[in-house]
């Protein structure tokens, strides 16, 4: 895509340093080279040159690099000037460059945006550049590098390819009269559903096991009233933030707290007890808890271990049934609280796919086990080929998987091929928003405006 305007920005951090780099990208970058350097440097060679002002007086001297389109980061003609890292010199150079026609200052993230729009990188890779620059832990750096190399995009692209095979099949059969359709059409559709479902489950598992979410990990504390949820939030955050009473329904809305465990940042959310209630305010809180749960990475389901075991089992069963029906990408750990009132060990047990940890939020016993359990998953990821995902990516995968399940249901009920085609098209769109193959201006603005100038 050719744009008429050419952009310039410093790509090094403002302030004094030995080297300061300016990047110029666009159709007039060649003009800039001629005016500032007196010539266009040899492509992809480091050339030592003088940088001149309007009156042909030397402003600075340093290295110039010339990357003619399309073999540059942005896919456009790119000139890089590496001068002395003095803000005054950089400022004079920028002013001089801006005095040339059709050159303007780059907006935040605009170099990356152009690279994306010219097909040099996809949206996940553009975000990975931002993540790499802002990474604060070693695992974030590794993850961002892997994402930049396209490991996450690879999984998404595979899923989209599988979907497209299905779509081609469906779209092409729309044009045939019913009697012309293959007699085993239904089997073909079932097979495609089956393959696509496997692919979805694979990517969901990969997200849970291999992704480092750029934002703080979200942990939500849920469970019946009076189980000790607020006490758990307080003891984890070492603050008396939530009101603790033995009156059920004290926490009627959501409480947020940030905690750091072993260098990993978590956002902990305490919720209203999940139970059937006639109280309207409580009802709103409970609905909000279910809403927010889908955006979380880990659920701590707290239960009062001193309760009748049959009631406990019923509560757990109802919760697992409900959460499974939503298909959220979320890990669940059951917290058996008030263990101080029993003679049991403060330990962790795995039953089926779930972990059960006995603790006392009152005395703090068992909390080390819980903390280790929370960080274990993160540490394991560091050993594997992890990548950085953003909450936006996880959300799009969930949107598309839910649409996929809806499509399956509609097909089994109505066998309507047009409805199925429309659902598959929607899924394609949801997935395409991850890598940017489908992207609105609004989405692009939202993403690139969070980058800083020069990226
Ligand atoms: P929530 O409604 O689930 O948020 O429960 P709270 O945190 O408000 O606790 C309800 C009651 O249980 C309060 O009286 C707490 O002091 C008590 N409690 C909470 N955790 C424990 C615990 O581990 N042991 C004992 N013995 N009492 C607890």
Distance (Å, whole) CA 336 – CA 367:
11
Distance (Å, whole) CA 141 – CA 153:
17
Residue with tokens 């300061």: 20
Tell me the CA–centroid distance for residue 245 and ligand 1, in Å: 7
pLDDT of residue 228: 93
Q: List, chain by chain if needed, residues with CB within 6 Å of any ligand 1 atom.
A: 225-231, 244-246, 250-251, 273, 337-338, 340-341, 360-362
pLDDT of residue 276: 60
Q: By the 8 A CB rule, do 44 and 95 touch?
A: no
Q: Is 280 annotated as a binding residue?
A: no
Element (H, E) at 191: helix 185-210
Distance (Å, whole) CA 292 – CA 289:
5
Instruction: Tell me the pLDDT tens digit for each residue of 367-391.
Output: 999 999 988 867 666 555 567 777 7
Domain with CATH 1.20.120.430 in the chain: 129-211+390-448
Tell me the CA–centroid distance for residue 270 and ligand 1, in Å: 13
pLDDT of residue 275: 60
Q: By the 8 A CB rule, do 130 and 148 touch?
A: no
Distance from the Cα of residue 322 to its chain's centroid: 25
Distance (Å, whole) CA 266 – CA 218:
6
Strands of the 58-67 sheet, one edge to the other: 47-52, 58-67, 78-85, 17-25, 6-10, 103-105
- Retrieve residue 79's tokens: 């000139």
Q: By the 8 A CB rule, do 83 and 20 touch?
A: yes
- Ramachandran bin of 238, using left for φ above 0, alpha for ψ from -120 to 50, beta for the remaining angles: left
Domain with CATH 3.30.1360.120 in the chain: 6-106
Tell me the CA–centroid distance for residue 309 and ligand 1, in Å: 18
**Dmax (CA) of the chain:** 89
- The one-character DSSP state at 179 is G
Reduced 3-state DSSP string for 206-233: HHHHHEEECCCEEEEEECCCCCCHHHHH
For the CA of 246, the closest atom of ligand 1 is 14
Tell me the CA–centroid distance for residue 359 and ligand 1, in Å: 12
Identify which of 221, 240, 244, 357 to mutate to test ligand 1's pocket (most ligand atoms within 8 A of the CB): 244
Domain with CATH 3.40.50.300 in the chain: 216-389
- Retrieve residue 395's tokens: 């959300």
Q: What is the pLDDT along the chain (455 residues), one digit of tens a residue?
A: 556 789 999 988 877 889 999 999 999 999 999 999 999 999 999 999 999 998 999 999 999 999 999 999 999 999 999 999 998 999 999 999 999 989 999 988 899 999 999 999 988 888 888 887 777 667 677 777 777 777 788 888 889 989 988 888 888 777 665 555 555 778 889 999 999 999 998 888 877 777 766 667 888 898 888 899 989 988 888 754 554 555 454 444 566 777 777 767 788 888 766 666 566 666 666 677 777 787 788 899 999 999 999 999 998 988 888 887 766 667 889 999 999 999 899 999 998 888 999 999 999 999 999 999 988 867 666 555 567 777 788 888 888 999 999 999 999 998 888 899 999 999 999 998 888 877 667 667 777 777 766 67
Element (H, E) at 10: strand 6-10
Which one, of 320, 329, 327, 331, lies nearest residue 406 by Cα? 327
Whether domain 129-211+390-448 has CATH 3.90.550.10: no
| Residue owning the nearest CA to atom 11 of ligand 1 | 246
Angle made by CA atoms 116, 426, 419, in degrees to the nearest 5: 160
The CATH classification number of 6-106 equals 3.30.1360.120
Q: Is 216 annotated as a binding residue?
A: no
Q: Spelled out in words, what is the top-level CATH class assigned to the domain 216-389? A: alpha beta
- Ramachandran bin of 323, using left for φ above 0, alpha for ψ from -120 to 50, beta for the remaining angles: alpha
Instruction: Tell me the pLDDT tens digit for each residue of 48-101.
Output: 999 999 899 999 999 999 999 999 999 999 999 999 999 899 999 999 999 998
pLDDT of residue 268: 86
**Burial tier of 385 (Cβ tally within 10 Å: 0-12, 13-18, 19+):** exposed
pLDDT of residue 336: 97
Which one, of 210, 58, 124, lies nearest residue 437 by Cα? 124
């Amino acid at each position: 895509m050719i744009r008429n305007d050419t952009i310039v920005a410093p790509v090094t951090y403002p302030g004094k340093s030995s080297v300061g780099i300016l990047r110029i990208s666009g159709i007039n970058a060649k003009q800039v080279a001629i005016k500032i350097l007196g010539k266009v440097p040899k492509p992809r060679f480091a050339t030592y040159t003088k940088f001149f002002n309007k009156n042909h007086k030397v402003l600075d001297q340093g290295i110039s690099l010339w990357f003619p389109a399309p073999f540059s980061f942005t896919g456009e003609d790119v000139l890089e000037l590496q001068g002395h890292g003095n803000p005054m010199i950089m400022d004079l150079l920028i002013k001089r460059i801006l005095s040339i026609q059709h050159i303007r200052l780059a907006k935040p993230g605009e170099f990356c945006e152009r690279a994306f729009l010219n097909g040099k990188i996809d949206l996940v890779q553009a975000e990975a550049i931002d993540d790499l620059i802002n990474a604060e832990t070693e695992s974030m750096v590794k993850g961002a590098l892997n994402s930049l190399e396209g490991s996450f995009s690879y999984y998404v692209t595979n899923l989209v390819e599988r979907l497209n095979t299905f779509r081609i099949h469906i779209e092409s059969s729309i044009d045939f009269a019913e009697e012309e359709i293959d007699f085993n059409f239904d089997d073909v559709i079932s097979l495609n559903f089956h393959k696509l479902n496997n692919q979805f489950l694979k990517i969901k598992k990969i997200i849970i096991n291999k992704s480092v979410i750029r934002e703080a990990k979200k942990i939500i504390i849920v469970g019946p009233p009076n189980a000790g949820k607020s006490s758990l939030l307080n003891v984890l955050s070492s603050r008396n933030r939530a009101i603790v009473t033995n009156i059920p329904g004290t926490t009627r809305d959501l409480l947020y707290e940030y905690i750091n465990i072993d260098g990993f940042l978590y956002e902990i959310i305490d919720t209203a007890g999940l139970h059937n209630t006639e109280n309207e305010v409580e009802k709103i809180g409970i609905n909000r808890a279910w809403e927010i749960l889908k955006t979380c990475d880990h659920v701590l389901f707290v239960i009062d271990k001193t309760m009748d075991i049959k009631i406990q089992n019923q509560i757990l069963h109802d919760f697992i049934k409900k959460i499974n029906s939503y298909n959220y990408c979320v890990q669940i750990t059951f917290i058996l609280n008030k263990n101080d009132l029993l003679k049991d060990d403060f330990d962790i047990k795995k039953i089926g796919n779930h972990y059960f940890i006995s603790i006392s939020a009152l005395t703090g016993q068992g909390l080390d086990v819980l903390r280790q359990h929370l960080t274990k998953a993160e540490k394991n990821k560091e050993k594997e080929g992890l990548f950085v995902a953003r909450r936006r990516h996880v959300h799009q995968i969930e949107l598309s998987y839910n649409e996929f399940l809806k499509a399956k249901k509609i097909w089994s009920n109505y066998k309507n091929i047009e409805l199925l085609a429309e659902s598959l098209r929607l899924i394609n769109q949801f997935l395409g928003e991850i890598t940017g193959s489908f992207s609105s201006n609004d989405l692009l603005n939202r993403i690139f405006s969070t980058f800083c100038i020069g990226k």
